[in-house]
Amino acid sequence: MNRIRKTLSVLTLGAATVAGAAALAQTAPQPAPAAAAPAQSAPAAPILTVRQVYDTLTAAGYRNITEIELEHQRAYDVKAENAQGQRVKLRVDAQTGAVLRSRIKD
């Protein structure tokens, strides 16, 4: 009989502890929403199409454009001839169409 009382006491005490913990969990203050969260960066400008890059370069005096290849969504690698007729390899900004680098090919 003593054993039954001890077992019931332990079970009752355990149930009370679990119930108390559950009650505390429900009333515990929730963390404030992240009002001061860092602002998300503005969406990137759209990437120019191959046709737009081609038109920009021909307007700038380049001709015989043989290759336009997008690299890592940031720049186009282009093979063309400059206004002096020299074969060049260009790096063109994918968002603005600006020539970032021009190298004369041997």
CATH number reported for the structural domain that contains residue 70 in this entry: 3.10.450.40
Residue 61 lies in a domain: yes
Residue 73 belongs to a domain: yes
Asked if the structure places residue 64 within a domain, the reply is yes
CA atoms within 13 A on the CB side of 34: 4
> pLDDT higher for 14 or 73?
73
pLDDT of residue 62: 96
Q: For residues 62 and 23, which has the higher predicted lDDT (pLDDT)?
A: 62
pLDDT surpasses 50 at 32: yes
Domain assignment present for 21: no
Which is more confidently placed, 41 or 14?
41
Task: Give the chain's domain count.
Answer: 1
Q: Helix or strand or coil: residue 33?
A: coil
Residue 81 and residue 87 in contact, taking contact as beta carbons nearer than 8 Å = yes
Asked if the structure places residue 43 within a domain, the reply is no
Residue bearing tokens 């929730």: 30
The answer to the question of residue 93 being in a domain is: yes
- Residue 56 C-alpha from the chain's centroid: 28
Domain containing 100 equals: 50-104
CA atoms of 94 and 97, how far apart (whole Å): 6
Cβ pair 39, 28 in contact under 8 A? no
CA-CA distance, 90 to 42, in Å (whole number)? 28
**67-93: average pLDDT:** 95
State whether the Cα torsion 100-101-102-105 is positive or negative: negative
